[in-house]
Structure 1
Amino acid sequence: MRTTFLRKAGIGAAVAATAALTLAGCAGGSAPAADSGPELSDEPVTISLTWWGGDARAEQTQAAIDAFEAEYPNITVEPQYTDWNGYWDQLATSTAAGEMPDVVQMDELYLASYGARGALYDLGGLDVDTSDIADEALATGLVDGTQYALPIGVATYSLIANADLFAQYGVDLPDDETWTWDDYADLATELTEQSGGAITGSAQIVGFDTGGLKYWVRQAGEELFDESGDVTASPETIADMWQYQLDLIAAGGLQQPAAIVESQTAGISAGAIATGKVALGSAWNTQITALADASGADLRLVKLPEPKDVHPNFYKPSMYWSVSSKSEHPAEAALLIDFLTNSETAADIIGTERGIPANDAIREYLSDSLTPTNAAAVEYLGRITAGDAPVVTPNGASGIEGILQRYTQEVLAGQTKPLDAAEAFIAELQAEIDAA
């Protein structure tokens, strides 16, 4: 067993909302101190592992559990899993009863809700090797300076370009190392014009997910949240995001509001990019596989415009591993996380099913076995420079995307002016955080 502790730990649904509130009275105090130093037992030990996902993930995870148990025969792992919505209901119930599973698959939206209330173990006192995880990725698991979660996979925000449509209408792909948002608008408008209106240059690019919002805010030198959980993005910056899109709609380079809503409602595999209605759009880099499979087109990952010497992009964890603060066997729980994170045996089984591995060495180990689109996603990770990790979504803000989408639709439909919507969005989001 490794003797190095978590070496970087010192770096700086309505049901889910109910779960966040419930935690305040059920966590039973703060998590164990980082220097408690739990040790592995020589006796038979049983720990539990819970996750959300479908049948394919369940089969792969069970195979990885089998491999872990073969290597550590005194440890038995009891698996639990369900779908996304049922998962958070189940986790809230077990946490309230003081029976949270030992190892928990965690999401960024709910990490602060569980971590800040003492439901999760401080990983700084557990034996997990993080030396192959970048500081900027590891920091995505911090809540108030404590490492409550270890990222499993990472993604970064990107643009998707349909190279087939660019070629069909005689338009060159952009130089994404030097271009600006003005260049993007010109290119999107040119694509619409060159196609004679057969396609629209761009799908909606920012305003429907927190990734695009955070990118836009960070490029202005701001952050969406601060360490205290306050919304710190200025209304002027958010209004600029919406005004940019209104101007692009007027110029013909961006889809009309009704088409934008239709695309968002259709989902990633039936939206405007996947169906070839646009030549440009935004997505997480890891979504290129689903988009390429659905479209059958030659899709390319393109960097978003960014100001000189500013790095607004960031690592988004696909999900995390966390340990329950109520675990009676935290050393064994940590050993399982270490195995799933660092073992080539586990990597051979799981591959990229939980995202492009946050572990650089495992990502390199898998490089020769990646599909072309996964390889493109990895290559894109290598091309961007990630800035500091954003503050984890504060407790109470897990519904941010629903709020954001509502105001975006109002602005694009001409029902609300950008600055008024920005001020209302910030006030509503802050009220949700304060109420929690």
Structure 2
Amino acid sequence: MSKRLPALIAAVGVTTLVLAGCSGGSNDAPTEVTFDEDTAAEISFSWWGNEDRADRFEQVVALFNEDYPNVEVVRNFNAWGDYWTARNTEAAGKSLPDVVMMDAGYLGEYASKDLLADLTPYRDTLLPLDGINDQVLGSGTVDDQLVGVPLGTNAWSMMYNKDLLDSFGIDYPTDDMTWDELNDFILEVNEAGGASDPRIYGAEDYTGGLPNFIYHLMQEGNPVFEEDGTASFDEKDVISYLDSAADLRDDGDFYPVERSVALSPSGGFLAGETAIWFNFSTTVLQGMTDAGTENIGMIQPPLEKGEDAHVLAPKPSMLLSVAKNSDQQQAAAAFVNFLTTSPEVAQIFGTSLGTPPTEEGRAAIDQTPADTVNLDYLASVDDELTASYPILPAGYGTIEAKWGELHEQLRYGDITTEQFAQELFTEMSLVLGS
């Protein structure tokens, strides 16, 4: 695709796809599907991203057309904000593209409005998804319907800056440590980094993000959201979680909130001023780039007290869905299968779409240092990826933003943990109707 063109629609190739035993309608899946290259199909495909991603998708579609030379893939992309504006407009008119890049925060909303096709009927034919495990597919399953196939995955992790720890002679954190042991580790780093300029801290307040609370709930074996999108946790759960870090927060042992606000949205780890960072594994590239070192380690977040095993879930970095309104669902399903399972696609994108969901895809990557850390981590926790990431309700992004806003007030001492929980649930009642 020419870089002189704006985010636009580009088309390549034509392939023929005959679908025997099906009506060709948008709502009824066929009982048997076969290919016949005498019939042509055209599908539209939309995603968010930039020109670099568009160039890579151009290569991918060319590869797809080597297998299916008569399927025309009409492509369109937007920046993140514009993307959802356009999709929401299309959703209102039930005119979504045949294949839609989907975010985990929107999947539940679009599925609840009956906008996404159930891909389950295609699993034995056009969409075998070989090599993608059930935990990964569970993150795209709503009400027992497969409505999204993860294009890439990652897992919650705890990263640490080896350069900082080496400079202080402090041992690296381990994957069997508890939260209490992490607190002791944070204090050890604080003491060693007290004379540094700028001062080095162990970590920012780790209760500051909603994803870490989700991790906490999963460790305790508790659900996060019900099928109707309402919260499975209550105010007491939130208060107890926030209070678990109260001693460090009250004693000023976390990275200063004033400095966090000044650096927002990057934070202390990316500035090279904290040793620990909780985030999803694919963000290690950002960590290396911003902190200015490739010497970053990655392990599971701490264990709950008394537990000896983690409960981790592969979170989809993005998913692919087929529109319920599509009259080319069969061709779309074949395209989704190619994008998510082809090692050639993984080789083209690396981990820029998340970690490829298949072992063959991961093996095909020409690894950068960040890829190596990420892939080694995921391989090390493979036996502990035992759950599917919770389906996030419509409005999740608003709830996550509210958590961050309230947490900043908590760190400044403007509200209590009880007020935090009350205001969070007030927001959720508006957003989720709970």
The residue correspondences of 1:7-86 to structure 2 (distance < 5 A) are 32-33=27-28, 36-37=31-32, 39-40=34-35, 42-86=38-82
Give the Cα separation in 2 of the matches to 1:260 and 1:201: 14
The aligned length equals 398
Counterpart position of 1:206: 207
The counterpart of 2:99, out of the listed 92, 96, 103, is 103
The residue correspondences of 1:316-327 to structure 2 (distance < 5 A) are 316-327=315-326
Counterpart position of 1:186: 184
Give the Cα separation in 2 of the matches to 1:250 and 1:160: 24
Please tell me whether residue 247 in structure 1 is matched to residue 247 in structure 2: yes
- 1:203 corresponds to which letter in structure 2? E
Kindly state the Cα deviation for residue 421 of structure 1 after the two structures are TM-superposed. 1.3
Give the Cα separation in 1 of the matches to 2:223 and 2:419: 20
- 1:360 corresponds to which letter in structure 2? E
Q: Contact 1:31–1:118 (CA<8 Å) still a contact in 2?
A: no
Secondary structure at the counterpart of residue 334 of structure 1: helix
The residue correspondences of 1:224-243 to structure 2 (distance < 5 A) are 224-243=224-243
Spell out, residue by residue over 1:284-341, the C-alpha distance to the aligned partner (whole angstroms, 9 max, x if none): 1111111102222211112211132553322110000100111111111111111111
Kindly state the Cα deviation for residue 400 of structure 1 after the two structures are TM-superposed. 1.6
Q: CA 1:215/1:147 → structure 2, altered by over 3 Å: closer, same or farther? A: same
Give the Cα separation in 2 of the matches to 1:133 and 1:372: 25
Give the Cα separation in 2 of the matches to 1:358 and 1:345: 13
The gaps in structure 1 that reach 5 residues or longer are 1-29
Secondary structure at the counterpart of residue 274 of structure 1: coil
Q: Contact 1:106–1:149 (CA<8 Å) still a contact in 2?
A: yes
Please tell me whether residue 221 in structure 1 is matched to residue 221 in structure 2: yes
- 1:168 corresponds to which letter in structure 2? S
The residue correspondences of 1:113-124 to structure 2 (distance < 5 A) are 113-124=109-120
Secondary structure at the counterpart of residue 47 of structure 2: strand
Counterpart position of 1:21: none
The residue correspondences of 1:26-425 to structure 2 (distance < 5 A) are 32-33=27-28, 36-37=31-32, 39-40=34-35, 42-126=38-122, 127-177=126-176, 179-197=177-195, 198-208=199-209, 210-263=210-263, 265-267=264-266, 271-297=267-293, 298-307=295-304, 308-366=307-365, 369-384=366-381, 385-425=384-424
Percent of aligned positions that are identical: 27
Kindly state the Cα deviation for residue 136 of structure 1 after the two structures are TM-superposed. 1.1
- 2:296 corresponds to which letter in structure 1? L
Q: CA 1:396/1:283 → structure 2, altered by over 3 Å: closer, same or farther? A: closer
Q: Contact 1:158–1:304 (CA<8 Å) still a contact in 2?
A: yes
Spell out, residue by residue over 1:120-166, the C-alpha distance to the aligned partner (whole angstroms, 9 max, x if none): 11010222122311211110001111110001111111111111111
Q: CA 1:344/1:294 → structure 2, altered by over 3 Å: closer, same or farther? A: same
Q: CA 1:114/1:363 → structure 2, altered by over 3 Å: closer, same or farther? A: same
Larger displacement relative to structure 2 (425-434 or 118-127): 425-434
- 1:218 corresponds to which letter in structure 2? M
Spell out, residue by residue over 1:363-400, the C-alpha distance to the aligned partner (whole angstroms, 9 max, x if none): 1333xx21121111111112221242243112343412
Q: CA 1:35/1:431 → structure 2, altered by over 3 Å: closer, same or farther? A: farther
Q: Contact 1:191–1:253 (CA<8 Å) still a contact in 2?
A: no
Give the Cα separation in 2 of the matches to 1:81 and 1:97: 19
**Alpha carbon RMSD of aligned pairs, Å?**
2.0
Q: Contact 1:31–1:119 (CA<8 Å) still a contact in 2?
A: no
Q: CA 1:38/1:398 → structure 2, altered by over 3 Å: closer, same or farther? A: farther
Q: CA 1:113/1:37 → structure 2, altered by over 3 Å: closer, same or farther? A: farther
Q: CA 1:344/1:218 → structure 2, altered by over 3 Å: closer, same or farther? A: closer
Secondary structure at the counterpart of residue 200 of structure 1: coil
Q: Contact 2:315–2:389 (CA<8 Å) still a contact in 1?
A: no
Give the Cα separation in 1 of the matches to 2:397 and 2:33: 33
Larger displacement relative to structure 2 (246-255 or 84-93): 246-255
Give the Cα separation in 2 of the matches to 1:251 and 1:187: 15
Q: Contact 2:44–2:99 (CA<8 Å) still a contact in 1?
A: yes
Give the Cα separation in 2 of the matches to 1:311 and 1:34: 39
Give the Cα separation in 2 of the matches to 1:424 and 1:31: 43
Q: CA 1:310/1:424 → structure 2, altered by over 3 Å: closer, same or farther? A: farther
- 1:273 corresponds to which letter in structure 2? F
Kindly state the Cα deviation for residue 67 of structure 1 after the two structures are TM-superposed. 1.6
- 1:91 corresponds to which letter in structure 2? R
Q: Contact 2:99–2:332 (CA<8 Å) still a contact in 1?
A: yes
Kindly state the Cα deviation for residue 32 of structure 1 after the two structures are TM-superposed. 2.9
Q: Contact 1:190–1:253 (CA<8 Å) still a contact in 2?
A: no
Larger displacement relative to structure 2 (37-46 or 117-126): 37-46
Give the Cα separation in 1 of the matches to 2:93 and 2:31: 24
The gaps in structure 2 that reach 5 residues or longer are 1-24
Q: Contact 1:44–1:75 (CA<8 Å) still a contact in 2?
A: yes
Counterpart position of 2:13: none
Q: TM-score, normalised by structure 2?
A: 0.86
Q: CA 1:345/1:312 → structure 2, altered by over 3 Å: closer, same or farther? A: closer
Kindly state the Cα deviation for residue 31 of structure 1 after the two structures are TM-superposed. 7.4
Spell out, residue by residue over 1:155-184, the C-alpha distance to the aligned partner (whole angstroms, 9 max, x if none): 11111111111111121112222x111111
Give the Cα separation in 2 of the matches to 1:255 and 1:203: 5
Kindly state the Cα deviation for residue 255 of structure 1 after the two structures are TM-superposed. 1.0
